Chains A and B, each alone.
Chain A
Amino acid sequence: MTALTKSEMAERLFEELGLNKREAKEVVELFFEEIRACLENNEQVKLSGFGNFDLRDKAQRPGRNPKTGEEIPISARRVVTFRPGQKLKARVEEYAGTEPQQ
């Protein structure tokens, strides 16, 4: 099955809400950009019914170059994690698909 992309989201805003194509494209773009900007400022994003985007700071840890075996530290970093909300989890659990996807 093909993946959902921004252009299909914009298409739906055009069909369902009657936004013109340019407005629809812009609002989809802003939706993702404002979430990114917020996370960049180390602020959590909570979208009720869908889920939360949280931030976690990871300390530096020892790592290895898998090719050479050489020890190189993995630098301290901040990562985004997504915690799906109850409503989304319940809806997805009902999916009876038989092919586990990755």
Chain B
Amino acid sequence: MTKSELIETIAARQTQLSSKDVELAVKTILEHMSQALSAGERIEIRGFGSFSLHYREPRRGRNPKTGDAVELTGKYVPHFKPGKELRERVNLGLQMGL
């Protein structure tokens, strides 16, 4: 499922909002989540999961083309930990042969 399919699905599930409103809402939610993570803030959605930042230590890497050693600085990467309900439902899908 892509973002536009998600927008269509949500729009079909409710009667109040136009597709355009749902599209703006989905984009606003994703931008809000990206902003929070970029500011070092966690995201916690009960039953879905949590997003946080994991730190990657500085390390010496290599330029894959030339093989030269390069110093890579430490950085943060986004990390997602699925919540209990999501883990259980996905596993149930497996049990049901999906």
A residues with a Cβ closer than 8 A to B are 1-6, 8-9, 12-13, 16-17, 19, 23-24, 26-28, 30-32, 34-36, 38-51, 53, 55, 57, 76-82, 84, 87-89, 91-95, 97, 100-102
User: Can you list, as one digit per residue, whether each of B6-48 has a CB less than 8 Å from chain A (1) or not (0)?
Assistant: 1001100110110001101110111011101111111111111
Bound-state CA distance A99–B88 (Å) is 32
What bracket does the count of chain B residues touching chain A fall in? 35 or more
Contact A40 B78 (CB under 8 A): no
Contact A101 B77 (CB under 8 A): no
B residues with a Cβ closer than 8 A to A are 1-3, 6, 9-10, 13-14, 16-17, 21-22, 24-26, 28-30, 32-34, 36-55, 75-80, 82, 85-87, 89-94, 98
Bound-state CA distance A16–B80 (Å) is 27
Contact B41 A50 (CB under 8 A): no
Given A3-B42, A13-B25: A31 in contact with B6 (beta carbons within 8 A): yes
Bound-state CA distance A79–B48 (Å) is 13
